[in-house]
Structure 1
Amino acid sequence: MNMMNRIEHWGDTHHPAWLDIVRIALGVFLFVKGISFISDTTRLSKLVTGLDLHLYTVASVHYVAFAHIFGGFLIALGCLTRISAIIQIPILLVAVFFVNFRTGFSYLNSELWLSMITLILVITFAIVGSGRFSMDEWMKNHDN
């Protein structure tokens, strides 16, 4: 049994039901954050341009919005949760260490704390998976 299978098995056996509520809330939060990025692309473009990573600003803005909207939706449903969570990790790492960290590590920087909590939760769901009350579990149990 390789390492990924062991992590997946451990996550499936150690997943309390209350964690499903946290997963749904995280998915809804990411979905809403993606919608807010689409509604105010100039703000997100300024954040990405300020990084000076020589990325195509428009492409990265669309990637972040797309990943948050569809990834958040899938996480909330519990469908392909691990893959959706893994796709969110690079975005949140950039948000924590490059975008929000520049403004200072204080209790007043709520975006930094929100990004850090979201990153921790996304890593958690990449490990433990979707849980009992999810589309993945429903499809596994109703396989005809």
Structure 2
Amino acid sequence: MKGIFFVTNIQYLHDLISPIDKLGGGMFLIHYIAPAHMVGGIMIIFGLLTRWAIIAQLPILIGAVIVNFMGEMYSQNLLLALLTLSFCVAFLFYGSGKHSADYFFKMEQ
């Protein structure tokens, strides 16, 4: 959902990453964050290559927490980023579970 929101409101995404844009790579970040959220989110929902999708999400989520402290603090965004980061770290260690596409394909072999 956040990826779709970023694609439709690209100026909002640009405003969010403006505090760290001075370090360089701002255009890369804009083109990485939205597609990684959309593709990674779909893969996590279905449980397909869950750990790989979470590894792609971790830099974005850690950056979301850092941006809230560097720029203007949005408490709702910070809470959402911390909650999502904690869930992703838990699933990174736990895995996708028995009701995932990974488990289904593993049992088909």
Give your verdict on TM over 0.5. yes
- Which amino acid in 2 is paired with 1:117? L
Aligned residues: 107
1:101 aligned to 57, 62, 69, which one? 69
Cα deviation digits, residues 61-99 of structure 1 (max 9, x gap)? 1100111000000000000000101111111111102x1
Q: Which has the higher helix share?
A: 2
Structure 1 unaligned blocks of 5 or more: 1-31
Q: Name the CA distance, whole Å, in 2 between partners of 1:128 and 1:61.
A: 30
Q: Name the CA distance, whole Å, in 1 between partners of 2:87 and 2:2.
A: 15
- Which amino acid in 2 is paired with 1:125? F
* RMSD of aligned alpha carbons: 1.3
Larger radius of gyration: 1
Partner residue, 1:88: 57
8 Å Cα contact 1:86-1:123 kept in structure 2: no
1:124 aligns with 2:93: no
Q: Name the CA distance, whole Å, in 2 between partners of 1:101 and 1:120.
A: 18
- Runs (4+) of structure 1 moved beyond 3 Å? none
Quick check: 82-91 or 42-51, which moved more? 42-51
Partner residue, 1:49: 18
Q: Name the CA distance, whole Å, in 1 between partners of 2:13 and 2:57.
A: 16
Q: Identity rate of aligned residues, in percent?
A: 37
8 Å Cα contact 1:89-1:122 kept in structure 2: yes
1:61 aligns with 2:30: yes
Deviation at 1:100, TM superposition (A): 1.3
